[in-house]
Amino acid sequence: MVRDDIIEYSLQGHHSEEDGVKIRKKIWKVTAILSIITILEVAVGAMFPKDSVGEWTWFFIKYGYIILTVIKAGYIVLVFMHLGDEAKGLKYMILVPYIIFILYLIFIVIMEATYINDGWINMQ
């Protein structure tokens, strides 16, 4: 008995070689972008330890890490969750609240760290 209510979608996956080339090109592009950002983060961390740089340099390194991490997270959401294929309004509706929330968390962490640091200084 052959069932006609089951559809095997894997057998319907026909695409041309041009589509395959585009897909492979996108995979290599995503891999390259994420690898470059990760290599940049690791290289900066290895070349500029906190003890060997000035206060302002360390300030820019910290915020550079935060910015690169948020960019990488946003790109991952756009590519791997297929948000990049959606309309511009939907992208903004999903990404903007997350970006605001992340910035809020960063603000809270910085304010609390400043408060704790001031407390340690006053105790000495």
Domain assignment of residue 116, given as a range: 87-124
The count of domains in the chain is: 2
Q: Answer yes or no: is 4 within a domain.
A: no
The pLDDT, as a whole number, for residue 38 is: 93
37 or 114, greater pLDDT:
37
- Looking up tokens 């511009």 gives 88
What sign for the dihedral angle of Cα 110, 111, 117, 120?
A: negative
Specify whether 103 is located in the same domain as 121.
yes
Mean pLDDT in residue range 81-98: 85
Specify whether 26 is located in the same domain as 81.
yes
Q: Which tens digit of pLDDT belongs to each residue from 16-50? A: 778 888 888 999 999 999 999 999 999 988 898 88
Specify whether 119 is located in the same domain as 71.
no
* Distance, CA of 64 to CA of 68 (rounded, Å): 6
